[in-house]
Structures are given as C-alpha cells and as structure tokens.
Amino acid sequence: MDTRIFQRSQETGNSDDISHVTTDVKDLIVEKIYEKAESISRKAVRYEGFRESLDKKIDLLLTSKVTGILFMLLLLGVIFWLTLVGANYPSRILAKILFGIQGFLESFLVSIGAPEWVNGFLITGMYKTMAWVVSVMLPPMAIFFPLFTFLEDLGYLPRVAFNLDYFFKRSGTHGKQALTMSMGFGCNAAGVVSCRIIDSPRERIIAILTNNFVPCNGRFPTLMLLASLFIGGLAPDLGWLLAPIAVSGLVVFGVFTTLVVSKLLASTLLKGLPSSFILELPPYRPPHIGGIIIRSIYERTLFVLGRAVAVAAPAGGIIWLLANIKLGNQSLLAQAAAFLDPLGRLVGLDGYILMAFIAGLPANEIVLPILLMGYLAQGSMISPDNFAGLKDLLISNGWTILTAINTMLFSLLHFPCATTLWTIRCETGKARWAIFAAVLTTTVALLVCFIIASLYRLVVWAIL
C-alpha cells in the first residue's frame, strides 16, 4: 500500500484516504482468492453443465453494470404495481366489513346507555383508527411480503445487494444495507428489524437511521393519491403515465437521500472504516411455498400489523380528544394547526398539513384522514372514498402544485411512525437513537421542502 497515503492521512486527520485504499486492497485480495478457487474448481469439479450454464447466463443479465440496475428497477416497479393495484379490492372489502361493524358497536353502546363522549372516544377515535390501519395496511403487506419473500427464496436479493454494493460502499456503509432498505418498502419497522443481518454496529446504526427514507406501505396510498390528483392532473390524457412516473421518481429520490445521509453520517457522527462485504451469490433455487407463507404472513405481516394496531388504537382516542376539546371557538387540533402555520407556509405547506403528520405519528395511513378532518373542521376522521371532490377541497384550502409536491416529499422523508420509532428503540437498546432518527429525518424533510419552495417561488417571481 502506498505509504504516502498514510502520511497524508496523518497530516490531514482524514481516515477516508486509508479506508478507500484499505477497501480496494481487500477487494483485490478477495478477487485473487476467488480467481484461484475458481481455477481449482474448474480442474477438480465436474458439473452437469446445463444448470451452471443457465445460472451464469441469468447472472450476466441480473448483475451486469448496465442491465442489472435496469432490471432491478423494472422488477421493483412490477412488484409495486401488483401491490398497489392488487391491494385495492381486498382493502375496500376489509374497510366495508370493519366500518360495518362500527355501526353495531355504536348501537350496542347506545343500548347500554353509554355517554356520547364514551362512544366517540372508543368507537370514532380508537376503533375507527384501528379499522383504518388494518384495512389500508393489511392487504398491501399481504401482497408485498410474499412477493418479496419469493424473490428472497429464489435467490435474487443477494443480486440486488451485489448491484447496490458499489453505491453503499462509496457512502461508507455496508452493501447489505441494500437488503434492509428493500425491506423498508414494505414496512420501515420490518426494515429496521432486518438490519440485524449487518454485523458491524456502526453500519447497522446507519442502516437503521436511514431506513425511513424509502416509503412504506402506509405512505404509498398518500403518494399515489396526490400524484394522481395533481401530477396526473397536469395532463389528463397522460395521467395514467405521469402519476406512476412521479411516484417512481419519489422512490429513486428516497434511495438517493439514503445514500447522501449515509455518507454524511459515515463521515461525521458514525465515522469508521467500512467493513468488508464478501458476497457469494447462491445458485437460483425453486421457492418453497410453505416457507414463503409462514415467513411472509406470520413472521412479517402479522408481526408488523400487530405492532401498528397496538399503537394506532390508543393514539386514535387521543386524536379524537384533540379534535373535540375546544378552547374558545377552536378545537385543540385547530389551534395547534394555527401555531404551526408560519413554519408550514415557509416550507410550502400549511399548519394543518404539519399538524396532520404530527397527529399521524401512530400510523402514516391516518395522515390524510386527519388532514381532511382538520380542513372540514369535523370531530372525527372521514374516509376519502369520494376522490371527485377531494381535489376541489384541497384547492379551496390553498393547495397548489407546490403544496402537493412538498406534501409528497415531506411524507417521503419525515419522521418515522411510532411503530418504527419503538422498533428502533428496541433494536438499538437506546431511546436516544429513536429520538435522533426522528430529528434527522424531519430536518432533512424540512430542508428539502424549503429548497423546493424557494426554487418554485423564485421561478414564479422570474416569470411574473
């Protein structure tokens, strides 16, 4: 190794010089070891031919520098499309059943003479919030997790880590972070749990702190809805194309933000040498359907859903209280929105939007209903089933294309939900990392929204 690099590092105090060279040397050593092993294997081992040849041909396509990333994006796009489209019908059925039960529960409380506020707190607050979470979260997770586990069982996920290893290594983190980030697309709490596969504590913390920058199932409905109403609405004839492109662009921006923030953390607060990542690509194998069902439904879907419901139900009661307890002529929810309005306007949002995200801490699925509740000044969450008048309602409350874009960006980058924060606390063993994750992500979200709002206003000022 060039000793001048050590001298320069000692003079500047910058360990990046050493870490990059060390990583390159490790890669070179591993490459030579595998070349030698492959040479010995070629002489000593005989294969049937067809299977090995088929695996190699597939890998040439899936791990190529050119086609590997493209195929990965295409595959993820198909999974997202199947998840979002496929979840619509079961989500509606679940909502119909659960909200149908709501009527029976209300009638029961009335029949036993329960006070009206008890009915509101338990049913309109706690039960309705829980019903929202279950009907919106369960179908996408029940589709996404089996598809994801199918790819995992097939042997494709190590290829994803292989394709993204270069980018994460340049960010000073571990290639396995690509896998944990992919898990975050289903649920960030599950993504945080999956960070256990990273051995280095430093790199595991970075992966946990940045997992929230990829959207989970709870945020996808809001992103899709706003993209359809405002981005797709820019060209109604091409709305079916513009909206998915906008959502895909947000996902790519989330991955980009993950890399940038990981780099910043690895260069400052969590500085250290990146650990080596020797990845042996396993052969493709037929998936085991029974194992996929058990791992995806029991170990992931029901586990994450159980945590979400446990947090969402009591939080729904608190939100109901905030919306129904009044000081003067305004509810506490409305007064909090008024307090946040100056900051919201500065970053291209408004006070009600910020208040909806704060009140939606228990689960991202309830952000939009809370926002509508605030705009309509109603004391209970409403269901945005009628999308025809939804855009008019938002525009009548001052929404522009800037508001829609920044709301999507804030939804993408803002603080993790309560379930994910609690999971971070459990996985790291320290509450300070959960607090730091909330501060870090919210700071990034506000900064990005402020930059976008400033650029938008500058362009508008220049045009006018």
What is the radius of gyration, based on Cα positions, of the chain?
A: 25
In this structure, how many other beta carbons lie within 10 angstroms of the beta carbon of residue 369? 22
- Give tens-digit pLDDT for 110-137: 898 888 888 888 888 788 777 877 776 6
pLDDT for 246 equals 84
DSSP code, position 299: I
Contact predicate 5/17, CB 8 Å: yes
| Nearest residue to 71 via CA among 201, 203, 177, 164 | 164
Q: Rounded distance, CA 313 to CA 129, Å?
A: 6
Each of the 464 residues of the chain gets a pLDDT tens digit; together they read 444 544 554 454 454 555 555 556 766 777 777 778 778 877 777 666 555 567 778 888 888 877 888 888 788 777 767 776 677 678 778 878 888 888 888 889 889 888 888 888 888 878 877 787 777 667 777 787 788 788 878 888 778 778 888 888 888 887 778 878 877 876 788 789 888 888 888 889 999 999 999 888 678 778 877 887 888 777 767 666 777 778 888 988 999 999 999 999 998 988 877 776 666 777 787 878 777 777 777 766 777 677 667 766 777 788 788 888 888 778 888 888 889 999 999 999 999 899 889 888 877 877 877 787 677 655 555 555 555 567 888 888 899 999 999 999 999 999 998 888 988 998 898 899 999 999 999 999 999 999 999 999 999 898 87
| Nearest residue to 280 via CA among 387, 404, 158 | 158
> Reduced to 3 states, what is the DSSP secondary structure of residue 327?
strand
Q: Rounded distance, CA 166 to CA 177, Å?
A: 11
Work out the angle between the directed axes of helices 3-12 and 16-44 (0-180°, nearest 10).
150
**DSSP letters for 326-345:** EETTEEHHHHHHHHHHHHHH
The answer to whether the Cα torsion of 77, 79, 82, 83 is positive or negative is negative
β-strand partners of 326? 331
Q: Rounded distance, CA 443 to CA 448, Å?
A: 9
